[in-house]
């Protein structure tokens, strides 16, 4: 943290609420994630530690080298990992097979583990706990040109929560990355180099296929600038899920509804974005507004693609 404060660490680009740095330590390159104070508590430290213990040994997982709560007026959780060179693909669709393999390992790595209840949760948890409260808290931000977002949340929330509830298990958990999509899969030394999954800020445990649901939206887009889903990519992704994590394709529309909850603005996220930079809030709201403008057509597209998949091969039951 002193090196970062002295300007001797390179800040990595990002628009999230946490900050990332690249730092040289002798002949090693380190990736340092500094969490915002609001998400720097002892439970967050335990959550990162528990996920690290579950995933040690996975070829694509960058292990934690050090972590702790940095003292100060407002303590900050600091997580140090190896820095992984490489570049994200400009077209996340090419990572469908690799992504399904990661999802399968995440689903199995929590099996038989004692998981503390306060480390279980994902982007859908707050909505499922009290969706109307979350909607009311975000409403003051959704005025002016973003007023349609408030109306969308009012009209769609019940449908999204019902889909998420149908995919929720009370008897099993999986390891949850939190932001798993093609651009967080890094290939080193060209397209055939080793795979590494980065950005573990939101990692924990979940009772839903929340990673697969979010990845459906972020990996199957025809392009980064908008949210038009590519039917061929959706088909490839759903086919991979049938042989990987074992999610039944009959639940594809619910998978899309679960993932869509991530695109509903929450007051906490909007507030933290505003504290990091006032320009981030309008950027974010414009971004999610594009998602919701495309949502009805995309949801119909997912359901249509899923219905056309061959039914002769039964998927394995969800873990």
User: What pLDDT is attached to residue 171?
Assistant: 86
Whether residue 315 is predicted with pLDDT greater than 60 in this model: the reply is no
Domain ranges of the chain: 2-82, 87-308
pLDDT tens figures, 193-220? 678 999 999 999 999 999 999 999 998 9
User: Could you tell me which CATH class the domain 87-308 is placed in?
Assistant: alpha beta
User: Could you tell me which CATH class the domain 2-82 is placed in?
Assistant: alpha beta
Work out the average pLDDT over 294-305: 96
Q: Which of 80-94, 127-141, 203-217, 260-274 has the lowest mean pLDDT?
A: 80-94
pTM of structure: 0.91
Residue 232 CA, chain-centre distance (Å), reads 22
| 178 close to 272: Cβ distance less than 8 angstroms | no
What φ, ψ does residue 266 adopt, rounded to 5°? -110, 145
pLDDT tens figures, 219-228? 899 877 778 9
Q: Band of the pLDDT at 87, cuts 50, 70, 90?
A: confident
Work out the average pLDDT over 40-53: 95
> CB neighbours of 112 closer than 8 A, spacing ≥ 6?
none
Long-range pairs, 144-147, Cβ under 8 A, ≥24: 146/285, 146/289
What percent of the chain has a predicted confidence (pLDDT) above 90?
Answer: 66
List helix spans (H) across the chain.
2-5, 42-55, 96-109, 125-138, 147-166, 210-219, 231-243, 252-260, 267-276, 280-308
Helix and strand numbers, DSSP H then E, in the chain = 10, 10
User: What pLDDT is attached to residue 314?
Assistant: 42
In terms of Cα–Cα distance, which of 257, 244, 269 is closest to 208? 257
Name the average pLDDT for the chain: 89
User: What pLDDT is attached to residue 305?
Assistant: 95
């Amino acid at each position: 943290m002193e090196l970062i404060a002295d300007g001797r660490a390179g800040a990595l680009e990002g628009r999230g609420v946490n900050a990332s740095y690249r730092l040289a330590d002798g002949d090693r390159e380190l990736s340092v994630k500094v969490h915002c104070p609001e998400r720097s508590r002892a439970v967050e430290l335990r959550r990162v530690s528990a996920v690290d213990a579950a995933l040690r040994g996975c070829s694509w997982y960058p292990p934690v080298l050090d972590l702790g709560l940095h003292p100060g007026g407002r303590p900050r959780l600091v997580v140090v990992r190896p820095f992984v060179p490489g570049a994200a693909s400009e077209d996340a669709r090419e990572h469908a097979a690799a992504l399904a393999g990661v999802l399968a390992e995440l689903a199995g790595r929590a099996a038989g583990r004692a998981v503390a209840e306060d480390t279980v949760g994902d982007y859908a948890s707050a909505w499922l706990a009290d969706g109307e409260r979350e909607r009311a808290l975000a409403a003051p931000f959704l005025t002016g040109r973003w007023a349609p977002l408030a109306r969308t949340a009012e009209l769609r929330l019940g449908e999204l929560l019902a889909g998420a509830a149908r995919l929720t298990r009370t008897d099993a958990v999986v390891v949850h990355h939190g932001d798993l999509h093609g651009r967080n899969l890094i290939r080193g030394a060209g397209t055939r180099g080793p795979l590494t999954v980065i950005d573990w800020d939101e990692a924990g445990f979940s009772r839903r296929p929340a990673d697969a649901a979010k990845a459906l939206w972020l990996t199957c887009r025809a392009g980064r600038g908008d949210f038009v889903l590519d039917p061929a990519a959706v088909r490839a992704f759903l086919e991979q899920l049938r042989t990987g994590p074992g999610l039944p394709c009959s639940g594809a529309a619910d998978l899309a509804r679960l993932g869509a909850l991530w695109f509903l603005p929450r007051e906490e996220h909007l507030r933290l974005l505003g504290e990091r930079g006032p320009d981030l809030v309008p950027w974010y709201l414009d971004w999610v507004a594009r998602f919701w403008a495309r949502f009805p057509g995309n949801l119909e597209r997912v359901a249509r693609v899923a219905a056309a998949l061959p039914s002769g091969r039964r998927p394995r039951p969800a873990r």
